[in-house]
Amino acid sequence: MKLERLFFIIAIIIAPTVCMPSILSSQPNVDYKPCSFTNPVTQGQDPWVTKKDGFYYYIESRGGGLYVSKSEDLTELKSNAQKVWTQPDSGWNQSSLWAPELHYLDGKWYIYYAAGESGPPFIHQRSGVLESVADDPLGEYTDVGQLYTGDNIETKEDNKWSIDLTVLTYQNQRYAIWSGWEENENTDATPQHLYIAEMENPRTISSNRVKISSPEEPWETGTELAINEGPQILRNERGEVFIIYSASESWLPAYNLGQLRLTGDDPVNPDHWQKKGPVFEGTESVHGVGHASFTTSPDGSEHWIAYHTKVSPEPGWKRVVHLQSFEWNEDGSPNFGHPTASGKQLHKPSGGCRAISSFF
């Protein structure tokens, strides 16, 4: 009797182990999304991703057009891309479409981009803005025109070379921040600085520009051309404002990220920005990290950076997009760590792993 009871207990213990595989295999409709991904997540450059109402929106320029993608999965940035705008056949913005950004401001979507005449040299780049017709980032846009990024706001004469324009909202005031030249030149081998100006609304710059950063540090001056470009806004949980920007030459492996921290209350005052860098740079296996944008995981518990890297250390602009999470230092500044190598398994953003269907 005792022996029979022992066999009964053993059968109860091992039964789930024996039966579970067959139970799982009998559920053909169950499909679990992988909880990991590898970099690169896509080809391309100047990645811009923004999150709204549970969806990630990604914008890129290619073939003379702007494409917007919508996805619940941060690691699938280019899902169902829709072409939302095509460059005109003539005019100031007919060629050289660079680094678009998608912003939701005052109940509408706005796309900021740089364009100009064909090159090289690329000496005619200016910043433009498109406004959505409806509250749909994948819908129709109206070309609002060129933004004024010069020194004569009253007459708007002698507009200056500008690229990579982004928007900062701070204490109920909106600002445009971009990379530009001190003066228009006949060569694109011209140093680039960061400028800021007040905005009257998302379509209009309303003050003269103010220079807030120049490429002066060794990690900014590079070996061929001194550059500050690709400014992006990043806020910590305390609401402190950072500008994370790209430094040095984008076509070389030394391309890296620098940081400006707003230490005062006036973003237009250059003395209220504190520089630090590099805060993110390449490794022996990851080259030329730069032009980042920032978002959070699906559940909002993690902070993520999207950035591009060069596919090789050789000079050139063939690039791919990487994603990785980052932390914060005790002083409130971002800690990006080191760029992850291609092919390394990374856990998907928190809240992004779930079954497509359930057992029951």
Active site positions, annotated = 46, 229
Peptide bond into 334 cis (omega under 30): no
Q: What are 96's two structure tokens?
A: 């050289």
Q: How many residues does the chain have?
A: 360
Q: Which residues contact 141 (CB under 8 A, 6 or more apart)?
A: 84, 85, 109, 111, 130, 131, 132, 133
SS (H, E, C) 30-95: CCECCCEEECCCEECCCCEEEEECCEEEEEEEECCEEEEEEECCCCCCCCCCEEEEECCCCCCCCE
Beta bridge mates, 114: 98, 127
Give the distance, in angstroms, between the CA of residue 26 and the centroid of all CA atoms in the same chain.
43
* Closest to 328 measured CA to CA, from 234, 236, 231: 236
| Helix (H) and strand (E) counts in the chain | 2, 24
Q: Which amino acid is at 244?
A: I
Cβ–Cβ contacts within 10 Å for residue 29, how many? 8
Cβ–Cβ contacts within 10 Å for residue 280, how many? 23
Pairwise CA distance, residues 124 & 116, whole Å:
5
Strand order in the sheet with 126-132: 95-105, 108-116, 126-132, 141-146
Give the distance, in angstroms, between the CA of residue 277 and the centroid of all CA atoms in the same chain.
19
Helix, coil or strand: residue 8: helix
Pairwise CA distance, residues 209 & 194, whole Å:
10
Are the beta carbons of 55 and 49 closer than 8 angstroms? no
Pairwise CA distance, residues 338 & 112, whole Å:
29
The phi, psi pair for 300, rounded to 5°, reads 80, 5
